[in-house]
Chains A and B, each alone.
Chain A
Amino acid sequence: MVRISELCSLFSDGNKNIHKFKIKGLPILLDAAGGSVHLIDDAVWDILESIEKNRTSPAIALEELEKKYPPKVIDEVMEELVSLWEQGLLFADESFVEEFLNAEENGELTVKALCLHIAHDCNMTCGYCFASQGSFGLEREIMSEEVGERTVDFLLENSGSRKNLEIDFFGGEPLINFKVVEHITAYGKKKAEEYGKTINFTLTTNCLLLDEEVCEFVNENGMQVILSLDGRKATNDRVRLLKNGGGSYDTVVERIMKFVESRNHENYYVRGTFTRKNLDFSRDVFHLFDLGLKHVSVEPVVAPPEEYGFYGEDIPLLEEEYENLAEGLVKRMLAGQDIDFYHFNIDLDDGQCLPRKIRGCGAGFEYFAVTPTGDIYPCHQFVGEKNFLMGNVFEGIKERYMMELFRSAHIFSKSRCRECWARFLCSGGCHASAYQFNGNLFEPFETACILQKKRIECGIYFQLYKKFGHKISEIMNSRDSLGEKD
């Protein structure tokens, strides 16, 4: 028979190795390092709770449990948990990570993806723009063909053995400099071919200039397109303003619908931002799906609370909203609608490689942003931060130590992440917000962590329904009826 002290000893590292949570009543147990996902019943929930709380004093845990459950139930649960541990489905081992980190230290650093600031200028005046209406606090400028070509060369020359490279046309609004977008695309394709590589292009646009000519161009070139729209008309038009002060919703929705039609509803995301002015953002996401869109991404604004950002008191509301969103999207999906919500996409079956899991987006060591004059920053959110200017496309990256620094900022070098159950699914959070809010790349921004963890929980909930459909509800219903018999 399993003794409670045995189970308590599995928690010797604290509570970071397994995580239990409920979304809309569905009790889920995640194994942090292995990625196994289980549905549990009330007894398992309570017993884990008690052990987590009293892991150093098993006798107290047992005493507490015996008040609630007969010994037979406690034994059954403990047997099951230990057996899962023995099979590697709970408390999975992660010691191999250290070996990997040691081996990697001298690994080659190569460039893979660039975010091109085609124009530090914009034809809209959105209130929350982190790019200060496109200028990033710098001069209003547009990228020349010469800088564009040099940027492509820089990417190819520094890409080592990588075959698939990426360029995102970003701004400000890149389409106000469309001629240069066309030029760089043609040049990039030709040059990549010479190198035997592929450059995948994406375009992020506010859609005002997304006319037929542009549609044709991006479709012909197979570009993924990110289309900005925040949701309901009132939400969108409060912030996303035209130069004349009017709202952009009507024009933008018309353009987006025409555009997604023209590419058979594939290879795009409609991307929105929510702020403290629309804490009920789930309705904005539902609205976007109700328009007939299939691929949607909506994320929290990056701004101080006195502007559009969030106060501490907003956070529980946002967490609840994510749950409402997950529930509503599951309902739509089970009713047959195609639902792809970017931030709930977690690949539960087939995990990514370890490098990806431990350090996320790659900013500052394989992913960079390039300004209209060719200056290189760790990512688009660092642009304009003079301390993070890494070099330029003409002379290359001078501050190599900064690449090392960004590469070293992974979940095992950040003390908070090391202890966090979400570490392998979050990958350590956004460097820019860590720096912006804590002045330190190694200290993640707490509000972002809370929301990230809620998104992960909701993502797992959504993915379980996506994979198992109505079976999940059947399991829960049969449990309810078993419970009644007890």
Chain B
Amino acid sequence: MASRVITLIKGTAVKTDRTVGCGECQTSCQSACKTSCTVGNQKCLNS
């Protein structure tokens, strides 16, 4: 039987080793959003 739920991304969203921020990633407003904050795309420089 085909699975009814297909997991495409196995969450790592908040890894335990990421609970402390190094603060080195780009600030979102310094890039292309000056009015609607989009932080989901600021690459972690430490990964």
- Residues on A facing B (Cβ under 8 Å): 29, 31, 33-41, 43-44, 76-77, 80-81, 84, 88-89, 92, 94, 96-97, 100, 110, 112-113, 115, 130, 162-164, 166, 168, 170, 200, 202, 204, 224, 226, 269, 271, 273, 295, 297, 299-302, 342-343, 345-357, 360-363, 366-367, 379-381, 424-427, 429-430, 448, 451-452, 455-456, 459, 464, 467-468, 475, 478-479, 482
Question: Among the listed B8, B24, B30, which residue makes an inter-chain contact with A38, where contact means beta carbons less than 8 Å apart?
Answer: B8
3 closest A-B pairs by CB: A35-B13, A34-B11, A345-B41
The answer to whether B36 and A367 touch across the interface, beta carbons within 8 angstroms, is no
Given A44-B5, A226-B32: A353 in contact with B41 (beta carbons within 8 A): no
- Could you tell me the distance between the alpha carbons of A410 and B1 in the complex, rounded to whole angstroms? 44
Can you name 13 A-B pairs with beta carbons within 8 Å? A31-B11, A39-B6, A84-B7, A269-B32, A345-B41, A347-B44, A349-B9, A353-B46, A354-B18, A354-B21, A361-B29, A380-B34, A459-B40
A19 to chain B, nearest CB (A): 13
Residue of A nearest to B26 (CB): A166
The answer to whether A40 and B12 touch across the interface, beta carbons within 8 angstroms, is no
Give chain B interface residues in 1-47, CB to chain A under 8 Å: 1-16, 18-47
- Could you tell me the distance between the alpha carbons of A115 and B34 in the complex, rounded to whole angstroms? 10
Residue of B nearest to A45 (CB): B4
Central interface residue in B15, B23, B44, by most chain A CB within 10 Å: B23
Chain A contacts of B24 at CB under 8 A? 162-164
- Could you tell me the distance between the alpha carbons of A366 and B24 in the complex, rounded to whole angstroms? 11
Chain B contacts of A295 at CB under 8 A? 32
A105 to chain B, nearest CB (A): 14
Number of A-B residue pairs at CB separation under 8 A: 208
Central interface residue in B10, B12, B35, by most chain A CB within 10 Å: B35
Chain A contacts of B46 at CB under 8 A? 353
The answer to whether A475 and B6 touch across the interface, beta carbons within 8 angstroms, is yes
Question: Among the listed B11, B36, B38, which residue makes an inter-chain contact with A89, where contact means beta carbons less than 8 Å apart?
Answer: B11
The answer to whether A37 and B9 touch across the interface, beta carbons within 8 angstroms, is yes
Residue of B nearest to A380 (CB): B34
- Could you tell me the distance between the alpha carbons of A437 and B38 in the complex, rounded to whole angstroms? 19
- Could you tell me the distance between the alpha carbons of A354 and B12 in the complex, rounded to whole angstroms? 11
- Residues on B facing A (Cβ under 8 Å): 1-16, 18-47
Given A38-B5, A88-B11, A361-B29: A353 in contact with B35 (beta carbons within 8 A): no
The answer to whether B26 and A346 touch across the interface, beta carbons within 8 angstroms, is no
B47 to chain A, nearest CB (A): 5
- Taking A92-B11, A347-B40, A360-B39 as known contacts, 8 extra A-B pairs with beta carbons closer than 8 A to each other, sorted by chain A number, are A37-B11, A97-B14, A357-B14, A361-B29, A366-B23, A380-B29, A430-B35, A456-B40
B46 to chain A, nearest CB (A): 8
Chain A contacts of B25 at CB under 8 A? 164, 352, 356
Residue of B nearest to A428 (CB): B37
The answer to whether B29 and A363 touch across the interface, beta carbons within 8 angstroms, is yes
Question: Among the listed B14, B30, B33, which residue makes an inter-chain contact with A343, where contact means beta carbons less than 8 Å apart?
Answer: B33
Question: Among the listed A36, A163, A300, A357, which residue makes an inter-chain contact with B35, where contact means beta carbons less than 8 Å apart?
Answer: A300
- Could you tell me the distance between the alpha carbons of A350 and B41 in the complex, rounded to whole angstroms? 10
- Could you tell me the distance between the alpha carbons of A380 and B33 in the complex, rounded to whole angstroms? 12
Question: Among the listed A76, A130, A271, A362, which residue makes an inter-chain contact with B27, where contact means beta carbons less than 8 Å apart?
Answer: A362
Question: Among the listed A84, A110, A361, which residue makes an inter-chain contact with B37, where contact means beta carbons less than 8 Å apart?
Answer: A361
Chain B contacts of A92 at CB under 8 A? 11, 13
Chain A contacts of B27 at CB under 8 A? 112-113, 166, 361-362, 366-367
Chain B contacts of A297 at CB under 8 A? 32-33
- Could you tell me the distance between the alpha carbons of A479 and B43 in the complex, rounded to whole angstroms? 35
Residue of A nearest to B24 (CB): A164
Chain A contacts of B18 at CB under 8 A? 351-354
Question: Among the listed A94, A130, A360, which residue makes an inter-chain contact with B28, where contact means beta carbons less than 8 Å apart?
Answer: A360
Chain B contacts of A448 at CB under 8 A? 36
Residue of B nearest to A32 (CB): B13
- Could you tell me the distance between the alpha carbons of A355 and B28 in the complex, rounded to whole angstroms? 14
- Could you tell me the distance between the alpha carbons of A94 and B16 in the complex, rounded to whole angstroms? 10
Given A94-B14, A352-B25, A448-B36: A113 in contact with B30 (beta carbons within 8 A): yes
Given A31-B11, A345-B38: A379 in contact with B26 (beta carbons within 8 A): no
The answer to whether A43 and B4 touch across the interface, beta carbons within 8 angstroms, is yes
Question: Among the listed A354, A424, A464, A482, which residue makes an inter-chain contact with B8, where contact means beta carbons less than 8 Å apart?
Answer: A464
Chain B contacts of A361 at CB under 8 A? 27-29, 37, 39
A31 to chain B, nearest CB (A): 6
B7 to chain A, nearest CB (A): 5
- Could you tell me the distance between the alpha carbons of A85 and B14 in the complex, rounded to whole angstroms? 16
Residue of B nearest to A295 (CB): B32
